[in-house]
Amino acid sequence: MTATPEPAQRADAATAEPAGPDPVGAVGTAADEETVDGATDGARDRSGHELLSRTAVVVVSYDSAALLKRTLALVAEDSPEAHIVVVDNYSTPTAREELVALASSHGWEAVLPETNTGFGGGMNLGAARARELGADLLVLLNPDAVIARADLIRLAARAHADRLALVAPVLKDSSGRIVSDGIVVCLADGSMRSRRSPRPIPPGGTQPWLSGACLALSTDLFEATGGFDARYFLYWEDVDFSARVLAVGGSLDLARDAVAVHDEGGTHSGSAESAGSSESGDGEQEGRAKSDIYYYYNVRNRLLYAGLHLDRSAQRRWVATAGRAAREIVLRGGRRQLLRTRRPLITAAQATRDGLRLLRAARRGELPDIDQPLIRG
C-alpha cells in the first residue's frame, strides 16, 4: 500500500480533458490494440484466452476471506484461464483456516507466510509463486478491487506488448466515481496531485506513479526492479516501485481504456488494512476517518521515500514541510474526527519522528535489507 489519499472525483469527469499535461504519458502499442480490440470476435477470444493463460492475478490478503468471496471470486469466475495466487499475511489461526478453505474451494494457489509481510513483501512472495506456476504476466490486485475480463485482457495485452511497461487502469468506485487516473508526487515537498487537480504544482518538478491497487507487468520487469521494497510495509511502496521501474528503463502506462472497480473502504478500517492493500491517491479530498495504521505509515513512509530516492537538497525540503504534510494526511480523514479524539495528531507526530530516523539511517546506509518489513514498534 502507499500514500493513499482520497480523491473524490465525479464519474462524469472521466471523459473530461486534463487541466494540464498527462502526468503518466506512456501508451500501449498499436499492435496490441489491433490484436485484442480490433480483431474479430473469434480472434479476440483466442487472443484473450492465450494472454490470460499466461497471467497470474496476485492478491495479498490479511483476514480478508469474506472480502475475497465478494471480489476475487468474481474476477476468477470471469477469467478462469488466469492463475489466481493469494498470499495470506498471517493474522489469526481462524483467519488462516478461512483463507485456506476459500482458496481450496476455488482452486486458487495459496501462499502462507508465517508472519505479516506487509503489502510489498506479500506481493514479492506471490510473484515468485506465479513464476513457478509458469506465468510470465502479473496482475497485482488489491483485495477490495474487481476487474472485468475485457479490462484484464487489455492490461495483460499492454504488459505483453511492452515487457518494460508498468500498466494500470483507471480506478473507479462502485458508483462510477473516479478514484485514480494519474497521479504525481511533487518533488518540492512530497505532496500529491491528480491529473485534474486545480492546485498549482510547486516548482521543483514531479515524479509520476501508478496506484498499486491494480498493476500489470511482465515478470521480466518485476525481476529487473527487484520487486517491491518490503521495508515500507504499508503505503508508499507503489510510489517507490514506480520510481524504480523508471530507474531501470521502464515506463509507466496508464491504460485509459481499462477500468478496475476499487471501493477503498474495504481495506481502510480496522485491522484489515494491516495486510494486503496498496492504494494511493492525490490526498486533496476530505473523507471519513481513517485508521491509526493509515496515518502512521503514510506519514512515516513519505520520509522513508525521501531518504531512499532524493538528494540532500530535496530531503531538506521534505523535512522542512514534514509537519504540514502530516497534518494534510490526517485531514484526509476529515476535521470532525479531531473533535472526538486527538489520537490522529499524536500518531502523526510519532510517525514523523520515526520517519526522520529512517531518513537519517538511509543517508548513512544503515537501513535493514530491502526484504525486511519495518513494522511500527
Alpha-carbon span 98 to 95, nearest angstrom: 5
Amino acid residing at 125: L
In this prediction, residue 39 carries a pLDDT of 44
For the chain, give the number of residues: 377
Q: What are phi and psi of 199, to 5 degrees?
A: -75, 135
Contacts of residue 81, Cβ cutoff 8 Å, sequence gap at least 6: 49, 52, 53, 55
Alpha-carbon span 331 to 337, nearest angstrom: 9
In this prediction, residue 65 carries a pLDDT of 97
Contacts of residue 125, Cβ cutoff 8 Å, sequence gap at least 6: 87, 111, 113, 117
Q: Which residues in the chain are classed under CATH 3.90.550.10?
A: 11-285
In this prediction, residue 199 carries a pLDDT of 87
In this prediction, residue 165 carries a pLDDT of 98
In this prediction, residue 197 carries a pLDDT of 83
Alpha-carbon span 53 to 137, nearest angstrom: 9
Of 347, 351, 306, 119, the C-alpha closest to 231 is: 119
* Cell numbers 480483431: residue: 39
In this prediction, residue 29 carries a pLDDT of 36
Of 114, 106, 116, the C-alpha closest to 77 is: 106
pLDDT tens readout for residues 99-130: 999 999 999 999 999 999 999 999 999 999 99
Collect the ranges in the chain with pLDDT lower than 50.
2-23, 25-35, 38-39, 43, 268-272, 275, 281, 285
Alpha-carbon span 123 to 292, nearest angstrom: 23
Domain 11-285 CATH class label = alpha beta
In this prediction, residue 283 carries a pLDDT of 52
For the chain, what percentages of helix, strand and coil (3-state, to nearest 5) are there? 45, 15, 35
In this prediction, residue 182 carries a pLDDT of 87
